[in-house]
Every structure is written in structure tokens, then in C-alpha cells.
Amino acid sequence: MLLLGIDVGTSSIKVSVVNAADTTLIASAQFPETEATIISQQPGWAEQEPESWWQYACQAIQKLAASGRFNPRDIAAIGIAYQMHGLVIVDKNKKVLRPSIIWCDSRAVETGNKAFTAIGNAYCREHLLNSPGNFTASKLAWVKEHEPAIFEKADKLMLPGDYIAMRLTQEITTSPAALSEGVLWDFQSDAVARPVMDHYGFSDHIIPPVQSVFSVHGTVTPEVAATLGLKPGIPVSYKAGDQPNNALSLNVMNPGEIAATAGTSGVIYAVSDKLTGDPQSRVNSFAHVNHTAAEKSIGVLLCINGTGIMNRWMKDVAGNHLSYAQINEQAANIPLGSNGLTILPFGNGAERMLGNKLMGAQISNLQLTTHQSPHLFRAAQEGIACAFRYGLDILKENGVRPSVIRAGKANMFLSPLFTDLFVNFTGTPVELYENDGAVGAAIGAGIGAGIYTNPQEAFRNYKPVALAEPNNNQKTYASIYERWKGILEKALS
């Protein structure tokens, strides 16, 4: 019995097949091989075509099947992970009405700020656990205001993973977790947030049927099954945003457990059983995958938009066709502190933890006679690690007390240098696991389909592959961080 996971990322679609008996990975594939296009018609805007996601998913699944390492007709359930907060709207015929406004698009910041004032600080913090911010509801409100002809045709609001599920099954569903990440869920009444709907003037029909993350969201149609070489009727039994899904894949399910990722964006994700929000709205609280009305499970999410994308930009601009491994090697030969070169990595949309400021990335103290490309490579990774430290300090203000952080051995955590910088700037050990979002989605599908009775059964054999711990040079790291923080605070002022 096999499980298929689909991870709808910003850069590509990755798919994995997992053996349900022991959750071991059988095969993975991704498409495209190069990074997918982000459409940016204006500064701060970011869109992608949902149809491209679907074509990439199909090609990735076909590529996976062509490996010959498994029989596609043995797949028993499908799970989907996806880039969070994106807006997909379709008409009554399930036709996409416009490109998706994705997670790092900043156009709706002011829309959300006005809603926060109009709806009320107390309600937003106590019932939504967030301000409306730049999330999915505010993105839809932007469409309503600026593209009224399109909004009039809108029948259903979806997130990116909902769209892939719809293409597989022709069914559209949502969940409390999905609605909470769109800031459309009232945690006190356990229902769609009526004040948000009323303020933005949304009709009830725009919200799909609500059901659990772990449930059957539809079954694969005969037409799609024939195209992909699958059996018709396979259940899509799990859908979750990439960060809750990453936490699931790391077996971060209980209060006090913490996960981290360092992909295009960087995230620290802590599980809590408290219905509270950050007083300054710098971090966000969403329903975790196992949240229920009876047993609260809240994912407290600290996001840094400019993480792997900063590292990639530096590679593209200064890397002279070097691989990431070669860049990491060159950066590792530069002394700690990059000879005074400092980089603020905030150039990928408005940063929530910085008060939704659209400040851009910044390079400070560049000495043209001293610094060369390896200094830039190292300073970029140091700047990203310092941004994680800054965010972790905000989480600590909100009651998060990490003794260890779990992370997948993927993306920037593939770099021994970055992993070392992360644990030393944050002062927190990191357990590394061999996993990815597509594997997590596959395991989630097994839970949702009842193949596993609970997450504990699914992760019974789960163990870290490495442990990274802070070294004895903490005073030096603290000094470099304070320099970085001082530059950031001056830029913010």
C-alpha cells in the first residue's frame, strides 16, 4: 500500500511516494527543474498561474511513475501540502478567474490594516488570533475593490492546495485550518468569522464546505486517473499549508514542540494550546492540522519572507554559475562576521515581523577593496540566521521557550555552514530529519484515510539523522548579532 504526497511550492511542485507500512520514501520527483516563474507587475506584487501548478503536478507525477520504482495503481491515498495564504478564485464552472495572488504579495496590506481598525482590535486578537493583515481574505477584498467585474463572477475562494485537489477530484472543500490562515475563522465560535465576512461584503457562498484537514476531500476522477496512470477513486484525504504540514512531517504535534524551515521563506513554527495572539501582530496563530473545537492546537508562526530567496539572489548575481555547494564552501572559508559586511535579507515583500514594512534587502559596510563574492555569500547566510534570531526573540516574548528545534535536512539546512550559523545565533540545538513537504503530505494522507489510527502510529519509527548544537563562541555570535540588529533598527527608524 502506497501513499502519494504533492507539495505545491513557490519554486516547483514536488511529489513523493511513501510505503504506508513503514513511512519510508520510495521515490520523489519535481517539476520544473528550474524555479517556477513569479509574475510581478508592480513592486510588492507576486502572482502565479494556477494552471501552471496543475501542469507541473501532472508532469511531476508522470515523471515519478516513469521511475519504475513502484506501481502507480498501488497508491491508496493522496495528500496535498501547499504555499500558504494564496488566493485562487473560480466561477460556477470551476474556471479560474485571475492569476493567484500568492503569499509574498503585499498589495493588500493597507486593506487589512483598515479592516483591523474597523472590525476592532479586541475581536481580531481574541477571535481571529491575528489582524486581517495581508492574508487571503484581504487579498479577496482587494480584488473586490479593484477588479469588481472579476469579483462578481467569483463563486468559490480557494487556497493553492484546494485548487490542486479540485483538479484531481472536481470537488472543492476547505477546513478550519485553511480558513484560519486566510483569517476567516472565529476560534471562539468555531465557525466562519462573520464580522470579517460582513466587513468585506463577502457572500456565504464563496466559502466551500468546511471539513477536517484529515478527511476525504474528494476522489480522483476517471479522466484524471487515466491521464496520470492512477486508479480512479483514490481519496484525497489531507490538505494543509506548507508550514503546518512541515510541522506534521517533523512530528511536531504537541504543545511546546517547535519546527523550522528555511526555503524561499523562513519559518519558526511552535505548537500551543493557548488561544492568544501577539499584541503587535508580528507573529501569526493558525489552527494546526490536529486542531479541533474540543482540543485546541494552534500553530504560532513566525515568518521571514527573505530567506532562501536572498541566498538564491546572491548566487545568481555574484555566484558566476557556481553551485550552492560551491558557494557554501567559499563562504565557510570567510571568517565569522564577514569582515564587517552585514546584510539585511528583507527583500521579498512586506515583512510581518517588522510591522508589515516593505523595506527591501540592504547591504551595509561594503568595502570595495576588501570584500569579494565569498564575503557576500557568507554575509547573506549570516544575515538570514540573524533574522531567525530576531524572530525567535519575538516568539519568546509570546511564551515560546525552545529547548530544541526540529528541521528537515532540506533547502538551506542542507548547508553545514547555515545550520551552524542558525544554532549559534539562536543559541538553540537543531535536530535534523530526512523528510520534505511531499513526504509529510503523503503521511497526512495515510492519517486522513484511516490507514494510520493517529499521528503517533504514523511516526512510531521516526528518528533524527543529526543533531547540531551551539559551540562555545557565543559571545562573538552575540556581538555580531547586536551589530546586525543595530543596523536593522536604524533602517526601521
Q: Which pLDDT tens digit goes with each residue over 5-41?
A: 999 999 899 999 999 999 999 999 999 988 899 999 9
Confidence of residue 48 (pLDDT cuts 50, 70, 90): very high
pTM (2 d.p.): 0.90
Q: Is the pLDDT of residue 55 over 90?
A: yes
Q: Is the pLDDT of residue 59 over 90?
A: yes
- % of the chain with per-residue pLDDT over 90: 91
Confidence of residue 355 (pLDDT cuts 50, 70, 90): confident
pLDDT at residue 33 in the model: 87
- Mean pLDDT for the stretch of residues 252-258: 94
Sign for the CA dihedral angle at 239, 243, 244, 248 comes to positive
Q: Is the pLDDT of residue 311 over 90?
A: yes
For residue 325, the 8-state DSSP code is: H
- Mean pLDDT for the stretch of residues 145-174: 98
pLDDT at residue 280 in the model: 87
pLDDT at residue 435 in the model: 82
Confidence of residue 186 (pLDDT cuts 50, 70, 90): very high
Kindly state the cell numbers that stand for 181. 490562515
Q: Is the pLDDT of residue 357 over 90?
A: no
End-to-end, the C-alpha distance of the chain in Å comes to 57
User: What average pLDDT does the chain have?
Assistant: 95
Q: Is the pLDDT of residue 382 over 90?
A: yes
- Mean pLDDT for the stretch of residues 114-136: 94
For residue 205, the 8-state DSSP code is: G
Question: What distances in angstroms separate CA 192 from CA 171, 182, 282, 380, 435, one per listed residue?
Answer: 20, 11, 23, 41, 33
The three-class DSSP label of residue 287 is: strand
Confidence of residue 352 (pLDDT cuts 50, 70, 90): confident
- Mean pLDDT for the stretch of residues 388-401: 94
The CA distance from 436 to 444, in Å, is 12
Q: Is the pLDDT of residue 127 over 90?
A: yes
Instruction: Give one DSSP letter per residue of 9-69, joined into a string.
Output: -SS-EEEEEEETTT--EEEEEEE-SSPPP-B-SSTT--EE-HHHHHHHHHHHHHHHHTT-S
Question: What distances in angstroms separate CA 297 from CA 245, 290, 293, one per listed residue?
Answer: 14, 6, 9
- Mean pLDDT for the stretch of residues 414-439: 95
Confidence of residue 264 (pLDDT cuts 50, 70, 90): confident
Q: Is the pLDDT of residue 209 over 90?
A: yes
Q: Is the pLDDT of residue 263 over 90?
A: no
If you search the block for the grid coordinates 523562513, which residue do you land on?
266
The CA distance from 306 to 368, in Å, is 25
Q: Is the pLDDT of residue 124 over 90?
A: yes
The CA distance from 153 to 65, in Å, is 38
- Mean pLDDT for the stretch of residues 304-313: 94
Confidence of residue 292 (pLDDT cuts 50, 70, 90): very high
Residue 317 CB neighbour total at 10 angstroms: 10
- Mean pLDDT for the stretch of residues 72-92: 97
Kindly state the cell numbers that stand for 255. 504543545
- % of the chain with per-residue pLDDT over 70: 100
pLDDT at residue 385 in the model: 98
Q: Is the pLDDT of residue 195 over 90?
A: yes
